[in-house]
Amino acid sequence: MPEEKYMRRAIELAKKGSGHVNPNPLVGAVIVRDGEIIGEGYHECYGQLHAERNAIANAKKRGNSLEGSTIYVTLEPCCHYGKTPPCTEAIIEEKIARVVVGSDDPNPLVSGKGFQMLREKGIEVIPHFLKEECDAMNHVFFHYIRTGIPYVAMKYAMTMDGKIACYTGDSKWVTGEESRAHVQTLRNHYKGIMAGIGTVLADDPMLNCRIEGGRDPIRIIADSHLRIPMDSQLVRTAGQQPLIIACLPDADEEKAAQLQEKGVEVLRIPGVTTADITEEQKEVISLPVLMKELGARKIDGILLEGGGQLNESALQAGIVDRIYCYIAPKIFGGAQAKTPVEGQGLTRAADAWQFKRIGMQEFGQDILLEYEKAQELQ
């Protein structure tokens, strides 16, 4: 079906904006007349022109008239003034006759109003075309616009026997090069990346994006007592790549001041009491409160690259929306070897955190299983 071809091209274009448009959605547009593509474009960067206006400009640059054409766009055209003028105005001005749309825009400033404005001008609107595919690429945006808090995706790599490291702590490498390269695309896609202080002390990571032309994520470290070393890679590069450290309200003020001098943003977050595997009570930062603070800073999505303790805390707090589980064809063995989710664990199988599988990919000899929180738990 030709129309599917045009919308799939719009989806392909939209994905080119990954890592550059947050907290805006990924949007692509293709303009067709007499069975030929006469213009195309996508939302390239936050604050710049939207996909429809880029496609219109592209058509004009090619010397094409848009009157009577059809535009295929992955998301409902905006109808309000923000950082850019409304796309509905441009569609009307150029006398485009037909608009085929994938996703509804949940933004209250747009939702349904874009369709209404176009129809009032006699433009045919076909909504929900390849809706499922269009919706899938904007799961982060939809969640953020509805809740105001980041979409959290947990990522871990494990062996066939469910280990993320040997009992010695050695974990280089669990998966192959292809899987590790794919992780870099996730770091580019999500605006924030989060790890716990245990990971920082063990690995001294940079948590940057190693894709040429990619975007480095905002780094977020859960460090209740500000144990992060001043000479860590994270602190030393805080002036070049943003670093947020979340700690408890009573964390060392002198250490906090030293970190701030290095360009680190220190967030004091209320604590919650939890029990570790020895059932000893301890106070850790409240992850739901932290998510609200990060959402207020326009961080719409977070890739959680923590160890087993932070993963367990995130699941207990109910903030995990998606899981990327890489499985390597290896076995480490050992009851003391680290697992993706540490802590005390649940007491009843009936209380298990429920997810549904939404995708599976192969990277060399590794497998990536992708899960989303089960609908009844959202």
Q: Which residues are annotated as a binding site for substrate?
A: 171, 187, 203, 207, 210, 305
Take residue 243 and report the two structure tokens written for it. 């670093």
Given 40, 52, 94, 342, which residue is catalytic?
52
Tokens 């290095």 -> residue: 262
Cβ atoms of 101 and 75 closer than 8 Å: yes
Alpha helices in 21-148, H assignment, sequence order? 51-61, 87-93, 113-120, 131-136, 139-147
Q: Could you tell me the CA-to-CA distances from 254 to 207, 221, 251, 264 in Å, in that order? A: 25, 18, 9, 13
- Catalytic residue list contains 52: yes
Q: Report CA 265 to chain centroid distance, whole Å.
A: 21
Q: Which residues contact 94 (CB under 8 A, 6 or more apart)?
A: 56, 66, 67
Which DSSP state fits 126? E
- Contact in structure between 281 and 259 (CB atoms under 8 Å): no
Size of the chain in residues: 378
Find the helix packing angle between 51-61 and 2-14, rounded to 10°: 110
Residues annotated within a binding site for Zn(2+): 50, 78, 87
- Cα atoms found within 13 Å of the Cα of residue 239, Cβ hemisphere only: 3
Decide: helix, strand or coil at residue 163: coil
Per the annotation, binding residues for NADP(+) are 157, 173, 199, 224, 307-313
* CA-based max dimension of the chain: 72
Binding residues: 50, 78, 87, 157, 171, 173, 187, 199, 203, 207, 210, 224, 305, 307-313
Instruction: Give the Cα separation of 308 and 341 in Å (integer).
Output: 4
In angstroms, the CA 103 to CA 78 distance is 12
Provide the annotated active-site residues.
52
